[in-house]
């Protein structure tokens, strides 16, 4: 259970990198509030945290 928090932090970092990649790759196609990293990355991390919380019972680090 000690490494579960590390897995959650790494998961949220990956969501942040995903949001940053969306901003960098689609800056020309996104409307003005969505094409800035300061708006999109926290929103993607928040949605990722919700997904992590919903799927938390399925995160088995040490199966019994």
**Residues above pLDDT 90, as percent of the chain:** 66
CA dist., res. 60 & res. 25, Å (int): 34
Residues in Cβ contact with 51 at an 8 Å cutoff, skipping those fewer than 6 apart? none
Question: What is the pTM for the complete model shown?
Answer: 0.82
Q: What are phi and psi of 32, to 5 degrees?
A: -50, -45
Per-domain boundaries in the chain:
2-61
The whole-number pLDDT of residue 1 equals: 56
Q: Give the pLDDT band of residue 48 (cuts 50, 70, 90).
A: very high
Q: What are phi and psi of 2, to 5 degrees?
A: -75, -30
Q: What are phi and psi of 31, to 5 degrees?
A: -70, 165
Summary mean pLDDT of the chain: 88
Q: How do residues 11-37 score in pLDDT, each as one tens digit?
A: 999 999 999 999 999 999 999 999 999
pLDDT above 80 for 60: no
Q: Is 32 helix (H, G, I), strand (E, B) or coil?
A: coil
């Amino acid at each position: 259970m000690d490494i579960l928090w590390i897995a959650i932090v790494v998961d949220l970092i990956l969501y942040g990198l995903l949001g940053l990649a969306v901003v960098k790759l689609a800056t020309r196609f996104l409307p003005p509030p969505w094409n800035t990293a300061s708006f999109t990355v926290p929103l993607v991390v928040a949605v990722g945290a919700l997904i992590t919380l919903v799927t938390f019972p399925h995160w088995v680090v040490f199966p019994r």
